Structure 1
Amino acid sequence: MTTETKLPHPVKKTVQVMARWSYVVKGFLFCGVAVFAVRMALGLSRKEPNQRQVLETLFSQPLGQFTLLLIALALSAHTLWRIVETIEDPYQKGKSPGGLLHRFTYLLSGISYGSVAVTTFKLVFGVQSGGENSKQLWVAQLLHREGGEWLVVTAGAIMLTWALVQLKKAITQGLYKSLKIDELAYFWRGLIRLIGAIGFITQSTILAGMGYYLLRAAWMKNPRYVKSIDDLLELVGRLPNGTTWLLLLAGGIFLFGLFMFVMARYFPLKLA
């Protein structure tokens, strides 16, 4: 049995609502990245296909500052929910190695989208940010410290582990069984299963690429090997038949974004 979270009920309810909306925000961000990737593949734009670029594009629109403020709040709620979820274990993953691994990925998700929330707040209030290449900066700082390369190796191993967890979600039934979609027709349940599988395989591939390049940066002691999602997409575009591969990868990212909308509607979000 899990212990009841100590958050007051009104706060808990607010976090639950905002965390559910955070899935909508995540879906929008991933779909936006996919659109930028398609435009890059077709030579229609040179804008980097990453979440910061999506946020900056939104910021330039009417009511952009207000929209980004709502996004930042939703992502902050997502982070708080993930932290509580990691501690309270509302889905009863337990303390087995597999259960602890799942709970650790909740924390990773919270940290990841917490950093996106910070970036969003900085855009709203006009604070300069390091951008996507900030990953190279902190890796460079670690590599200049004694034993720092092992911390980079650890970060790379964590990314690869996260990739395996995402792959597990793609090929097993656990996540899909938890969705409240029993009232949907068989066709729609199957379509959701297909969208999720392709999306999570794509996400797993991207995380594995990031993890690999972190390990390579540690091995070569060169932070320039660190790759963000836009760097990986650019590398894919340079492969033989790169345009085709890039379009396929963009399609997978878009489907992952669509699955986030499904999560927003049908996932039984809990805080305790």
Structure 2
Amino acid sequence: MNITNMTQHLPSPQPAWVVRFARVGLTAKGVIYCLVGALAFMAAFELGGGNQEAGKQDVFQLILRQPYGQALLALVALGMACYMAWRLIQAVKDTDHKGSDAKGLGTRIGYAFSGLVYGFFAFYAARLVIGSGSSSNQGEDSRQTLARELLAQPFGQWLAGAVALGLLWMGIYQFYRAFSGKYKKKIKETEIKPEVKGMLIRAGKAGYVARGVVWLVIGYMFLKAALEANSNEAGGSQRAFQFLENSSYGSYLLGIVALGLICYGVFMFVRAKYEVIQTQ
């Protein structure tokens, strides 16, 4: 028996800092989604004065207004930066072993895109902490900016339409993850207490369904912007919530989606504690 050959197949220790980045990032993401869901629910039923805005950037403003708000928001910004770093590591190092075929590259590009999005949120939150961000520069949603830039290019409507289809696909994929059970694939379910495991797993399913609804609405608005060559038709989560609220039975529909987003936030806490984090 060759001991040298055996040791070559033993797993090397996982870089602890990558695992910490992942868990801190998932926790921060959970906090953001719980607050977004809570604000959306309040907006749906006109609680708290009925003036609640429920986009992620509005959540940062809310945190900033709390006692010790700058310190709290700095922690959230750090968490978002950790999440960005983890996603980029997944994309570049292929720690989840997705491979380099078309499907694997698509997944890894999705990781990178997710990391960059949360990197933007981390940057925005950091700007608020140091005082260089303000409500005066929020007139245009980031997706409106993207739509405007795309529409200004040659074949701009086609480019914007392609992005819209990508957003719609993201919505459909959230439903697929929810109903296929893929959302819980990496969760160490045996470590969750039996009396709460079922509730937490169901919360994850509800969360991915709610997230799918929001992505589909965002994709629909972006597609409308492409078809009408009007970037003002595009929008992010805040505009999506307004769209839902203005539909038939809108308050109830938005309320259900809001509760689902809170469930998604709770499931991020479950992932932070029980997910198997691959680092190599």
In the aligned structure 2, how far is the partner of 1:165 from the partner of 1:229?
17
Partner of residue 244, structure 1 = 252
Q: Which one of 260, 263, 271 corresponds to residue 255 of structure 1?
A: 263
Distance 1:98 1:146, change over 3 A: closer
Q: CA separation in 2, counterparts of 1:90 and 1:166?
A: 22
Partner of 2:164: 156
Q: 2:182 is matched with which residue: 148, 170, 174? A: 174
- In structure 1, the residue matched to 2:86 is 81
Residue 82 of structure 1 contacts residue 106 of structure 1 at CA under 8 Å; is this kept in 2?
yes
Question: What percent identity do the matched residue pairs reach?
Answer: 27
For 2:200 and 2:221, the matched residues in 1 are separated by 32
| CA distance in 2: counterparts of 1:83 and 1:18, whole angstroms | 11
Quick check: 125-134 or 211-220, which moved more?
125-134
The residue aligned with 2:36 is: 33
Q: Contact between 2:21 and 2:85, CA under 8 Å: does it hold in 1? A: no
For 1:246 and 1:40, how far apart are their aligned partners in 2?
9
CA contact (8 A) 2:142 2:235 kept: no
Whether contact under 8 Å (1:81, 1:271) holds in the other structure is no
Q: Which residue of 1 aligns with 2:71?
A: 66
**Range with bigger deviation, 252-261 or 36-45:** 36-45
Aligned residues: 263
1:198 and 2:206 are equivalent in the alignment: yes
Kindly provide the amino acid, as one letter, of the partner of residue 253 in structure 1: L
Kept in 2: contact 1:198–1:252 (CA 8 A): yes
How far residue 268 of structure 1 moved from its aligned partner, in angstroms, is 1.2
2:216 equivalent to 1:208: yes
Q: Secondary structure at the match of 1:178?
A: coil
State the shift of 1:225 in Å.
1.0
Assess if the C-alpha contact under 8 Å between 1:48 and 1:230 holds in 2.
Answer: yes
Higher Cα Rg, which structure = 2
What secondary structure does 2:192 align onto?
Answer: coil
Equivalent AA in structure 1 for residue 115 of structure 2: G
Deviation by residue 1:178-197 (Cα, 9 ceiling, x = unmatched): 21121335453322321111
Q: Matches of residues 98-137 of structure 1 in structure 2 within 5 Å?
A: 98-128=103-133, 130-131=137-138, 133-137=141-145
Task: Give TM-score scaled by structure 1 length.
Answer: 0.89
SS of 2:60's partner is helix
The verdict on how the C-alpha distance between 1:237 and 1:115 changes in structure 2, with shifts beyond 3 A counting, is same
Name the amino acid aligned to 1:28.
Answer: V
Relative to structure 1, the CA distance from residue 71 to residue 153 in structure 2 (aligned partners, 3 Å threshold; closer, same or farther) is same
8 A Cα contact 2:191 2:274, kept in partner: no
How far 1:96 moved relative to its partner?
A: 3.9
Secondary structure of the structure 1 residue equivalent to 2:95: coil
Structure 1 portions without partners, runs of 5+: 1-8
Shift of 1:88: 1.7
Secondary structure of the 1:224 match is helix
Letter of the 1:16 counterpart: V
Give the Cα–Cα distance (whole angstroms) in 2 for the partners of residues 35 and 202 of structure 1: 13
Structure 1 residue 55 displacement after superposition: 0.9
Whole-angstrom CA distance in 2 between matches of 1:175 and 1:96: 22
Farther off after superposition, 124-133 or 85-94: 124-133
Stretches (4+) displaced over 6 A: none
**1:268 alignment partner in structure 2:** 276
Q: Does the aligned pair in 1 maintain the 2:177–2:183 contact within 8 Å?
A: yes
In 1, the alpha carbon distance for the partners of 2:142 and 2:92 equals 29
